[in-house]
Structure 1
Amino acid sequence: MRAFIKQLLSDIGKLLFVKHRIKSIAVIVLLVCYYFCLPKVLFTDSTSTVIESEDGQLLGARIADDEQWRFPISDTLPEKFKQCIIQFEDGYFYSHPGFNPASIAKALYANIKSGKIVRGGSTLTQQVIRLSREGKQRTYFEKFIELIQATRLEIKYTKDEILNLYAAHAPFGGNVVGLEVASWRYFGVAPSRLSWAESATLAVLPNAPSLIYPGKNKKRLLKKRNRLLEKLYQENIIDSLTFRLAITEVLPQKPYPLPQEAPHFLQFASSKYKGKKLRSSINYTLQKQVNNIVKRHYEVLKQNQVYNIGVLVLDIETRKVLAYVGNAPTTKRHQKDVDVIQAPRSTGSILKPFLYAAMLDSGELLPNTLVADIPTQIAGYSPKNYNEQYSGAVQAKKALAKSLNVPAVRLLQEYGLDKFREQLYAFKQKDIDKPADYYGLSLILGGAESNLWDLCKAYAGIASTVNHYTGTSSEYYSNEFIEPVFLQQGKADFGTLQMEKPIFDAGSFFLTLNALKEVNRPEGDEAWEFFDSSKEIAWKTGTSYGNRDAWAIGVTKKYAVGIWVGNADGEGRPLLTGINSAAPILFDVFDILPQTAWFTTPFDALTEVTVCQNSGFLASPICPAKKLQVPNFGTRFKVCPYHQLVHLDQQRQFRVNASCYPMEKMITEPWFKLPPLMEYYYKNTNANYKSLPPVKFGCQNNDENLLDFIYPKNHSKIVLTKNFKGKTNELICRIAHPKSNAIVFWYLDETYIGETKTFHEVAILPAPGKHTITVIDSFGNEKSISIEVDRT
């Protein structure tokens, strides 16, 4: 039966089409024209870029390309404004099909009677069409087109969607377009927080937007507003008390500035999502607190002519950006618009933890290993510690904690510059984009440039690797060093779980974080008085050459905080250092963050070994030993080279041997002995260190050479420069000798040039070319080096 009816209707349709072919075609054409009469996109005007916090509070906005404040359309409209605009503009909005015949008739009668257009009969739907056809003349023909398109608009959109279109594109005076901007500009609040009086004020404005200007027609605007409020009361939309209170509210006196809580984050987001409204990951309260911290420190730093500050706060678990302060509240003269979070700057010492972790991971270093901190020259490059002092030897973890430059350079040379440069690719530092030879060994001291965004990303990845390893079945995620997420709906993609480490293992990263935690407790340094010892934070500072950049980056189990301080134009300033300028800001930010527990120990990525208490190398049978947790490859490290067995007389005053002392009376015991140059500096800062006793008179001395050159080094090339008077500067030669009473005799190319005692230093002026410098002490020890001299 159903098939019969369907066939019957089809036959009737064909019959009618054949009988009324021309009419049918005309109807079809009209229907097609009607369907396509409404543009696919009604409004093509550029819109402002708008960013909100994670909870929807406005952080800032950028004006649209056409210099209009026009926010992207919102999904909802506040109920107060909805009631006001309907009662003022279109009381039958929810019942008409897009136009109101009665209103049109009344308007037509009034206009004909007066001989000009004095009244409009447009519905809100028609006004949306008129706004979308901006620039068209207001003629009856244009009115007819608007009417047709209005009916089509009613078919395509719901009533509430049409209201949203109107609210987003209605003019509110000057360059303010749309309810949301108007609410912020005229009342300084979000539309949802408008009072009835404020909503009524904005409802009447699109009808006469010029009334909003200060000092112009305020009485007319007040009358229109109050008339609307009275209508709301008569329609029982508001009660009498609300009405009486509403009419007492004053009109806006001057425009409010739009909130600008994160202007540089807005700039950053706008480069990726121009003209969009974004719900960001920024925590509104935290952002304001960090802004206040930056402002407070800026007032102090500018006294030293330091004008720019950047602060970035990340949630390590979600990798979301919680606060983004791209610059201090400085002036245009001092580059206030520069986003220093994204600007490449010299890294200073901030890359040292990566090298430390790399060497732990490969089994080429243990945390307590003594590393050399002595005057060093490598292929003409002479690194210096910040305080220009040397400790001779220092534990690797303390060298990192104290940010010593000389040990870092020596370790980089030992580990391999090319290998370390290749591994830096995995940390995704986009500004470190040159080959290893371009940077040289200065790479570890600031020879490369990176930015705060990438560095915080890397430090967060280190912490996250440990968190994920201990939070899973000792597995790694394949993509730990991902880009931070800055949208509220964004989700970090850490990749897949795997047994293979992405860069370095969790044990190496964990021990690196432990070493950085020790930075919190320096010994006898007044600059650390701001530190809050109740919080466990792994952090590192950095200072670039010439005091141009000051860094401080810290992580806890939950948060990563990065600070950069300096001048955007690159000008260096005295006292601009990571510890003095950036670290105080770092700890002030951590003070407002919730306290978290320390990282869980990744036991599966660590192995217990026996190490030498004195040297930190794997213990030999003659070392005083202790147990230590090290990365798994740490078992392949070297056995302590600094302990040796010595033969002493019964009083332990002299070293002896079989040539001069009865073997049955000898006392043999292990002795911790550093090489001469390391010992020379080490014993000055380590009171417990004991040099080897002297050899007993008459004994044959087959021991190693006690002499070592501090400067110059063997096979070095020396360039002698001229002073201001045009005279060539002398070459200052220095040696280390463990015996304070030794006399040292100096020779240049077998020519005697003098002797020294206590302080072994001489000045010579050799001719250009190759030379040999020889020293012989009063005990018969001898040392020679070769150098090449040139003059400018």
Structure 2
Amino acid sequence: MLNYIKQHKVKSAIVALILVAYYFCLPNPLFKDPTATVITSSNNQLLGAQIAKDGQWRFPHNDSIPNKFKTCIVQFEDEYFYKHPGFNPISIFKALKENLKSGGIKRGGSTITQQVIRLARKGKSRTYFEKIIEIILATRLELSASKNTILTHYASNAPFGGNVVGLDAASWRYFNRNANNLSWAESATLAVLPNAPSLIYPGKNQERLLKKRNSLLKKLLENSKIDTLTYELSVAEGLPQKPYPLPQTAPHLLQKVAQTQSGARVQTTIDIKLQNRINYIVKNHYNKLSQNEIYNAAVLVLDVKTRQVLAYIGNTPTDRAHQKDVDIIDKPRSTGSILKPFLYAAMLDSGDLLPNTLVADVPTQYGSYNPENYNKTYDGAVPASRALSRSLNVPAVRMLQDFGLDRFYQYLKFLKLKDLKYDANHYGLSLILGGAESNLWDLCKSYAALSSTLNHFSENSSTYFSNEFCEPTFLASTKINFGKQTTDKTLFDAASTYLTYQSLKEVNRPESDESWEFFDGSKQIAWKTGTSFGFRDAWAIGSTKDYVVGVWVGNADGEGRPGLVGVQAAAPIMFDVFESLPNSDWFPEPFDEMKKVAICKQSGHRASQYCDTAEEKYIQLAGLKTKPCPYHVLIHLNKDETYQVNSSCEDIGNITHKSWFVLPPLMSYYYKTKNPFYKPLPKFKPDCFGENAVSIEFIYPKKNSVIFLPKDFDGKTNDLILKIAHSKPEHIVYWSIDEQYMGSTKDIHEMSIIPTAGQHIITVADELGNQQKQAFTISL
């Protein structure tokens, strides 16, 4: 061989060049056409597809091909496919003979391999020279690819009529099902189409298509590929009459996938049965909400343990005028009260609060900011857990002020809420009531992290994971890494999270679900609603041990509507979704992060020596540094307990010592209206000296407030009613405005005045000389 090469160098070089050219003649990749973006469910069922950039329904290349279609296409197009090297000399000879005889191209004689090459070299004229090139490339393809691979190339790129390319797209467009589920008749129909794709047009060529299909079925019977019964049933099947629309089970998730993986086939984590069920739930609620001109909603369901997205509904089935294509799940919206649980958990975690510590719920003003509760009333004092479960605004703002705005802001930054773009001072205290924006994805992610913290703590010997607050995934190929096990908490300790969830479990459910706790098998859910200012956004997010369900309802354009409230608009959807999920056990108590201590029943503080009603309760370890109850004091009474006394007016032997629950005046003023068993301190016996100190607090006006006084129909300016709370209301209080005496009050301390426009200072003083001043401005 070497001697021959040396003797025939030119010939050898030519042969070598030909072999090299032959080796590299096959394009790689063989097909470069753009493909549709396709998403499938966790069990690989089609969720939706986005058409390819060239306007063709061409699914990404599929490495598998159903056996029925494989049999049909080989029997119809190339019966000797598994025996030839890429071309069939006998078929070529017969085709050449027939074409020469007729004077034109009447017969092709191409193998499936040659047809794959012709599809890859689209647009080439059908000449004898082109046929030679096809044969060369076909043999090269046979050397580099298996017969099955060649068939998959054909099935993925053959034309099936109109703008439908490939078996996968054709089976959905013409039969509305996966190619693996096609019958013999359907497979035979699709097998004959690439040979004459124009036959599929609705209402046209039905007889020709039927004839070709039945002819193939007859051949399958004769070659023992199908039995007689299958043949008879198959020829009785009808033909497709019109293309079906492709499934749009998760259209907004499809949009999201297309942003980063356009033209790919992506298996997601979506549970298709759950997705379909929630689509139905959202559609039903949309029909009701749209009657109130509320057109948009979004739902996200996460698996807590895997952090996978189980359902993704980015919007309602509304119309384009109401922005049905907008994916709300990742859009920033005002948070309303949905961040309150994080403040509560932060205060528990830092030891600033115990679960039921009384917090003030009284008229409050910080500069020009004047928060109000939804129902416009005040409780005076309310347990922190109840303030959270009832979503009271004033206690939340006061708790944020006490905890520290910057301090809480750092907790939120740890949650990686991407729409929290400004510093803490930009939001101010309104941060806790919807002054900031976030999105459904980030909020559900954060609640899932809290639930997972509890799960991991109980399942892994009271340890945490370093990457607990991670991003969820909707990609089946992605497995969440929760990081390393550690004894250090990630953000909130397990006890603070558990106690927060205990409070959220007590949130009042919608009217239709009011008595949920009395039914066997009812779901125990930690959940929270939120409503933004102006009734523009309604939120509901809930969690069990296994699932997080998040719901947003509103209008994509930001228009507010009456009734667009979290508990009315979003919560019913959330609970309907939870009804579609399996029941979960409640979270186990993280005892290793808790300690049992005596808690004052009335105040929720650690019991002091004067608390007469205490109970043993588990609290978070950080709560051990909280102060004992400040509201229980020891007072001295006469024998029949009608007066307070001291040694100046009563014999020591007749003095009774008793613990008494006493709130500051302003808290007491509102607290007693909601708590009829609250007893104010008894008066001092008239002949006693050295009474305890008293305190005075303004109810109205608030500090530095600007007050507008309306006029009656006759033009007369209405009175301004001034109010104070006095710890000993039986004392006489003297009122002055701008150092001008206005009068006195006793027991009920209210004063009616008509001040002039401008700034004023009101002064109140009681008969013992205790004094308070308040500045305000009148605008007429």
TM-score range normalised by the length of the shorter chain: over 0.9
- Pick one of 509, 514, 519 that aligns with 1:529: 514
* Cα drift, residue 526 of structure 1: 4.2
Whole-Å separation in 1 of the counterparts to 2:717 and 2:478: 65
**Superposition pairs of residues 626-665 of structure 1, within 5 angstroms:** 626-665=615-654
Cα shift at 1:163:
0.5
Q: Percent identity?
A: 57
Question: Partner residue of 2:490?
Answer: 502
Residues 50 and 699 of structure 1: is their aligned pair in 2 closer, same or farther, counting only changes over 3 Å? same
Q: How far does the alpha carbon of each residue in 1:699-753 deviate from its partner, in whole angstroms, 9 at most, with x for none?
A: 2253232431012344x25365888999998765322246676664421122123
658 and 235 in structure 1: CA distance in 2 versus 1, 3 angstrom threshold: same
Is contact 2:694-2:728 (8 Å) kept? Answer: no
Is this contact kept in 2: 1:520–1:531, CA < 8 A? no
Of 341, 354, 367, 1:353 maps to 341
Take 1:229 and 1:558, find their aligned partners in 2: how far apart are those partners?
A: 51
Q: Residues 47 and 249 of structure 2 are in contact (CA less than 8 Å); yes or no, is this contact kept in structure 1? A: yes
Matching of residue 228 in structure 1 with residue 216 in structure 2: yes
CA distance in structure 1 between the partners assigned to 2:417 and 2:716 by the alignment: 47
Q: Name the residue aligned to 1:317.
A: 305
Pairing 1:733–2:722 present? yes
Deviations 1:358-412 (A, max 9, x none): 0000000000100000000012211001111100000011110000100110011
**1:47-86 alignment runs, 5 A limit:** 47-86=35-74
Q: Which has the higher mean CA deviation after the structures are superposed, 645-654 or 738-747?
A: 738-747
Q: Which residue of 2 aligns with 1:4?
A: none
Distance change (3 Å), C-alpha of 1:663 and 1:29? same
Q: Out of 360, 371, 385, which is 1:372 matched to?
A: 360
Equivalent of 1:557, from 523, 531, 545?
A: 545
Residue 199 (structure 1) aligned to one of 187, 192, 203:
187
SS at match of 1:518: coil
Q: 1:670 aligns with which of 652, 656, 659?
A: 659
Distance 1:748 1:164, change over 3 A: same
The answer as to whether partners of 1:264 and 1:326 remain within 8 angstroms in 2 is yes
The alignment partner of 2:470 has SS state of coil
> 2: CA distance between counterparts of 1:259 and 1:207?
27
TM-score when normalising by structure 1: 0.95
> Quick one: distance in 2 between partners of 1:292 and 1:560?
19
> What amino acid is aligned across from residue 131 of structure 2 in structure 1?
K
2:752 to 728, 750, 762: 762
- Distance in 1 between the 2:669 and 2:675 partners? 11
1:5 maps to none
SS at structure 1 position matched to 2:80? coil
State the alpha-carbon separation in 1 of the partners of residues 726 and 512 from structure 2: 35
Preserved contact between residue 736 and residue 743 of structure 2 (Cα < 8 Å): yes
Structure-2 separation of matches of 1:527 and 1:411: 32
Q: Report the Cα offset of residue 236 of structure 1.
A: 0.7
In the alignment, structure 1 residue 683 sits paired with structure 2 residue 668: no
Indicate yes or no: 2:694 matched with 1:709: no
Say which of 423, 428, 442 aligns to 1:435.
Answer: 423
Q: Which range is displaced more, 351-360 or 744-753? A: 744-753
Q: Check whether the contact 1:349–1:444 (CA below 8 A) recurs between aligned residues.
A: yes
The one of 390, 398, 404 equivalent to 1:410 is 398
Aligned-residue offset at 1:429: 0.9
Return 779-788 or 679-688, whichever deviates more: 779-788
Q: Please list, as runs of the form range in 1=range in 2, the aligned pairs for 1:272-283 lying within 5 A after superposition.
A: 272-283=260-271
1:216–1:570: structure 2 CA closer, same or farther, 3 Å change rule?
A: same
390, 403, 412: which one pairs with 1:424? Answer: 412
The code of the aligned residue for 1:615 comes to S
Equivalence for 1:128: 116
Take 1:158 and 1:328, find their aligned partners in 2: how far apart are those partners?
47
Residues 749 and 143 (structure 1), Cα distance of their counterparts in 2 relative to 1, 3 Å cut: same
The 2-side partners of 1:65 and 1:359 are apart by 53
Q: Is this contact kept in 2: 1:456–1:561, CA < 8 A?
A: yes
> 1:736, 1:760 within 8 Å by CA — same for their partners in 2?
no
Is the deviation greater in 701-710 or in 21-30?
701-710
5+ unaligned residues in a row in structure 2: which ranges? Answer: none
Alignment of structure 1 residues 219-298 onto 2, 5 Å: 219-298=207-286
Match of 2:102 among 99, 102, 114: 114
Q: CA deviation at 1:781?
A: 6.3
Q: Equivalents in 2 of 1:372, 1:612: separation in Å?
A: 17
Matched ranges for 1:36-185 at <5 A: 36-185=24-173
Match of 2:386 in 1: 398
Distance 1:353 1:462 in 2: 11
Task: State the distance in 2 between where 1:304 and 1:517 align.
Answer: 30
User: Is the 1:720–1:729 Cα contact (8 Å) retained in structure 2?
Assistant: no
Letter in 1 for 2:740: T
For residues 136-164 of structure 1, the C-alpha deviation after alignment (integer angstroms, 9 at most, x for no partner) is 22222121111111111111211111101
- Relative distance call for 1:100 and 1:488 in structure 2 (3 A) is same
Once the two structures are overlaid, the 10-residue window that deviates more, 753-762 or 264-273, is 753-762
| Counterpart secondary structure, 1:271 | helix
Q: Which moved more, 1:700-709 or 1:460-469?
A: 700-709
Contact map agreement 2:719 2:752 (CA 8 A) in 1 = no
Matching residue of 2:740: 751
Asked if the contact 2:171/2:178 (under 8 Å) is kept, the reply is yes
Q: Distance in 2 between matches of 1:602 and 1:448?
A: 32
Q: Distance in 2 between matches of 1:338 and 1:722?
A: 45
Distance in 1, Cα, partners of 2:690 & 2:579: 61
State the Cα distance separating 1:461 from its structure 2 match: 0.2
Tell me the secondary structure at the aligned position of residue 260 of structure 2.
coil
SS across alignment from 1:150: helix
Please report how far the alpha carbon of residue 790 of structure 1 lies from its aligned counterpart in structure 2 after TM superposition: 7.0
Q: Does 1:18 align with 2:3?
A: no
Distance 1:388 1:160, change over 3 A: same
Measure, in 2, the Cα distance between the counterparts of 1:721 and 1:271: 57
Shift of 1:692: 0.2
Map of 1:386 onto structure 2: 374
Query: What's the TM-score once normalised by structure 2's chain length?
Result: 0.96
Distance in 1 of aligned mates of 2:690 and 2:8: 128
Kindly indicate whether the alpha-carbon contact (under 8 Å) linking 2:702 and 2:776 is maintained by their aligned counterparts in 1. no
RMSD of Structure 2 on Structure 1 (CA):
2.0
Kindly state the Cα deviation for residue 640 of structure 1 after the two structures are TM-superposed.
Answer: 1.1
- Judged with a 3 Å threshold, the aligned counterparts in structure 2 of structure 1 residues 719 and 692 are, in CA distance, closer, same or farther, namely closer
Deviations 1:652-693 (A, max 9, x none): 011111222222211111111000000001111112211000
Cα-to-partner distance string for 1:334-381 (whole Å, 9 max, x where unaligned): 111111111111100000000001000000000010000000001221
Q: Which amino acid aligns with 1:126?
A: Q
Question: Structure 1 residues 240, 727: closer, same or farther in 2, change over 3 A?
Answer: same
Task: Structure 1 unaligned segments of length 5 or more: list them.
Answer: 1-11
Over residues 78-130 of structure 1, what are the superposed CA-to-partner deviations in whole Å (9 max), with x where a residue is unaligned? 11100110011111111111111111111111111111111111111111111
The answer to whether the Cα contact below 8 Å between 2:755 and 2:778 also exists between their aligned partners in 1 is: no
More divergent stretch after superposition (134-143 vs 573-582):
134-143
Other structure's SS at 2:475 match: coil
1:644 is displaced (CA, Å) by 1.0
How many Å apart are 1:698 and its aligned residue? 2.0
